[in-house]
Chain A
Amino acid sequence: MRYKRRPFTMLEALISSIIVLIAIVPLIAPYRVIFREERRILEELEADRVAQLLFVDTLSKLLTKEWAFPPQALGEIAPLDNNFSELLNYDIYVVWQEEELIYTITYYFQPKQKEERSLEFEYFLSQEFIDAK
């Protein structure tokens, strides 16, 4: 009997390869989500640390009279001039408010990528500090 050559061997090999490649996708997909979540948590922790540093620098600038008190209109959200925005994945805004003789400063961390969530950190300045300043 004469051997008849199979004409579809390469096509079969290519189809198999594509199937294998497609099979890798569900393996990668969860890791992508896990990595993104872990990176988000890291960025939030870093934002928390930076907010504390910003607040302490604000106290210093108020005490040395480098900034007037309050440095901007109460209730107005203004971008904060700082060195951290370039390192972080956030734009930082600040708002000053007064509630029952206590001044509060809220730092808003707006993510540069829309799908991330924004963060806010609120601090207060007591009347004792305002009087001493």
Chain B
Amino acid sequence: MRNRRLPFSLLEIILSTMLAISILSATLYFWRWLALSEAKIHKDEELAFSLRRLQSRLSEILSDVSPMAINDNKEEKSIFFLASTEEGMTRSPSLYFSYYNDSLSPLWRGVLLGRLFVDSEKRLIIASWPYSRKEDLEVMPVHLEVLMEGVEGMEFEFLPWKEEQTFPDVKPGVFTSNWRQEYDSLPIAIKIKLLLPYPHTIAIPIPPCSRHSR
């Protein structure tokens, strides 16, 4: 039997192996970087789209704050006030407001009572009740709309624009962290600071000043 020599020298084999390992390492590093970047961008996108959706939905609802019957005398008034956090039930103060809802369902069409809050499961929710139809209903239904998840807390800042005769501490143009039902007017804008857990602030202008939709 003939003793045949290998066609490659040891040095060539070592160099080729090193070259192959280098290329494989670079490729694997690139794919890892790609996967990490993709995951980060996906997470950022999810947050950005959630904030955009929230801003859009709240602008839509708060541009339609409408008066509703508040007592048996059918006296009508717009409801808009902030209630403090309910320990164990909510993770944020609750904003109550009455708004006009345009829906195909007769039950949910018209002026509803809304409540914006973060529940104990870190969900940012708008709860709505057809409060103006309470006399026709045996049980008051509630509609829950989850706007965002993973919210640790929420803080409000309201921008007053009219003088409040009975509340001189409310000054036009100076943000205030509370809004009472006793005030004569609605704020012209709201800033909402969401803890996600890092703070992100969105601003909602309220008519008569708002974004042009042309």
A residues at B contact (CB < 8 Å): 3, 5-6, 9-10, 13-14, 17, 20-21, 24, 28, 31, 35, 38-39, 41-42, 45-46, 48-49, 52-53, 55-56, 59-66, 104, 121-126, 128-129, 132-133
Contact = CB atoms under 8 A, between A and B. Distances in A.
B199 to A, nearest CB: 13
Contacts of A10: 12, 15
Interface in B43-87: 44-45, 48-49, 51-52, 55
A102 to B, nearest CB: 9
| Size bin of chain B's contact surface | 35 or more
A124 B107 CA distance: 34
Contacts of B4: 3
Interface centre among B7, B23, B161 (most CB of A within 10 A): B161
A9 B159 contact: no
A62 B188 CA distance: 12
A53 B203 contact: yes
Nearest to A45: B48
B189 A9 contact: no
A28 B19 contact: no
B7 A5 contact: yes
Nearest to A31: B34
B175 interface: yes
A52 B52 contact: no
A13 B212 CA distance: 64
A126 B52 CA distance: 25
Contact of B203 (A31, A35, A52, A126): A52
Given A5-B7, A10-B12, A124-B212, A132 B162 contact: yes
Contact of A129 (B45, B174, B208): B208
Interface in B178-214: 188-189, 191, 201-205, 207-212, 214
B132 to A, nearest CB: 26
B190 to A, nearest CB: 8
A84 to B, nearest CB: 11
B188 A122 contact: no
Nearest to A44: B48
Contacts of B141: none
B167 to A, nearest CB: 16
Given A21-B23, A42-B41, A52 B204 contact: yes
A129 to B, nearest CB: 5
B208 to A, nearest CB: 4
Nearest to B202: A49
A64 B174 CA distance: 7
Given A60-B173, A123-B211, A129 B161 contact: yes
Contacts of B204: 52
Contact of A121 (B12, B172, B174, B211): B211
Given A55-B189, A64-B173, 4 more contacts: A6-B7, A59-B159, A128-B208, A132-B172
Nearest to B207: A126
Given A13-B19, A56-B203, A128-B208, A63 B172 contact: yes
Contact of A49 (B5, B51, B171, B188): B51
B203 A55 contact: yes
